[in-house]
Amino acid sequence: MATDFQSSFSASLSRQSLAPVGPSVADTLPNTNFGFDDLRDRMAKFTARFDAFIEQGRKRVLEERNQFRMNIAELQEDQRMKKRDIEIIQVKTSTHQQTVEKEEAETREMEAAINSLAAQRDNHLSTRDSLKAEIAQTQAEIEARLAAQRAHAQQQQAQSRFNVPELDFWITNLCLKIEGAGQDDRLKFVYTHIDEKDWEREAWFELVTSSRDYDVKHCRPKVEREKVEKVLDKVNESRELVVLLKGMRELFVEAMKS
């Protein structure tokens, strides 16, 4: 049966080949040209552009990464430098603060020293003014005493020229002698014939002549000061020495009797 089919198929083909030739089936099909070459060319160009884009992107990423790293390094260096600058500034600030505190302490010490010196100066000025016043007062007193002594000396000199005979008279009549008392401004008047029981017994007093008014400092025997003051008042008022000589003799006689 298979042989029969092959025979019939071969016969059929023989008949067809003998038939007149016409358009083939393939010729009757529509044109199937899809532009693969153009597509391939465009794909190649796209691939090239894509590869170039990728390469440019990779380069840009690398450049940006390198630039970022450089920027980070610069920022780190700037941070390190700024940290170092801050440390230097802190050290300078601490040193400056210490210097300021030291200067303030020195300023306070200087102000205290200045105030102390000013107080000492004021004290010295006050002391100087006080000393000046005391010196002026002392000089005035000295001048007054010198003037009084000169006047007294002149008076004594004038009186002595006229009273020498009178003084000799009273020395004789009052049993009196005049001695030095160991000081330039003092005279010692010594009486005898005071005590009726002992005419040689002495009584004496020291007369101070340094001032205008007479004064009696010491006497033996001792007599009441009030009575001596009364005699001195009369003498200083009258300026006559005989009043003192007679008055003191009377006091000594009274003291001897008592």
Per-residue pLDDT tens over the stretch 44-56: 888 989 888 999 9
> Domain ends where: 162, 190, 224?
162
What is the domain extent for residue 121? 73-162
pTM: 0.37
Whether 178 and 227 share a structural domain: yes
Pairing type for strands 215-220 and 203-208 reads antiparallel
State whether 77 and 158 are in the same domain.
Answer: yes
Residue type, 231: V
Q: 148-186: per-residue pLDDT in tens?
A: 777 666 655 544 544 556 667 777 778 888 887 777 778
Same domain, 94 and 131: yes
In a domain, 56, yes or no: no
Out of 120, 138, 162, pick the residue that ends a domain. Answer: 162
Same domain, 188 and 238: yes
* Cα–Cα distance measured from residue 244 to residue 234, given in angstroms and rounded to the nearest whole number: 8
Does residue 88 fall inside a structural domain? yes
Task: Mark which of 106, 141, 162 sits at the end of a domain.
Answer: 162
Report whether pLDDT(236) > 70. yes
Does residue 68 fall inside a structural domain? no
Q: Of 192, 221, 182, 189, which Cα lies nearest the Cα of 207? A: 189
Query: Is residue 210 domain-shared with residue 253, that is, in the same domain?
Result: yes
Find, among 169, 150, 151, 152, the residue nearest to 242 by Cα.
169
**Are residues 126 and 93 part of one domain?**
yes
